[in-house]
Amino acid sequence: QVQLVESGGGLVQAGGSLRLSCAASGRTFSWYVMGWFRQAPGKEREFVAAVDTSGISTYYTDSVKGRFTISRDNAKNTVYLQMNSLKPEDTAVYYCAAGVVFGTRLVKSYDYWGQGTKVSVSS
């Protein structure tokens, strides 16, 4: 079992920045690929970004490339999502997830999920 707890969400104006954190406990954090997903009201959960077990390789959905950066600190059992140049369409609940397959954007490929943190971007 892996327990994941997100933090760092909030309300920000368009063009602003937020940094999300996801703290993991339980099984060895460094074994897992880590991903961030988001779910806007009335929409399905969608992939945002992922980082491999070493932190070297990353993968983003097109809409956030150049604006968001995923990273991890295996010594601190934490994964981060730095979000810059935020847009109103980035408004959603953001979830971190742990899995074993890198390079997939499928929700079902991730085994463990946090409870989510809400991000609201005003225009």
> pLDDT, tens digit, for every residue of 41-67?
999 999 999 999 999 999 999 999 999
Q: What tens digit of pLDDT does each residue of 101-114 get?
A: 998 999 999 999 99
pLDDT of residue 1: 85
- Report the C-alpha gap between 70 and 27 in whole angstroms: 21
Confidence of residue 118 (pLDDT cuts 50, 70, 90): very high
Sorted by sequence, the CB contacts under 8 Å of residue 108 that are 6+ apart come out as: none
Q: What tens digit of pLDDT does each residue of 19-33 get?
A: 999 999 987 999 999
Q: What tens digit of pLDDT does each residue of 64-100 get?
A: 999 999 999 999 999 999 999 999 999 999 999 999 9
Are the beta carbons of 71 and 82 closer than 8 angstroms?
A: yes
Nearest-5° angle of CA 110, CA 112, CA 117? Answer: 105
Residue 77 tokens, joined? 């059992």
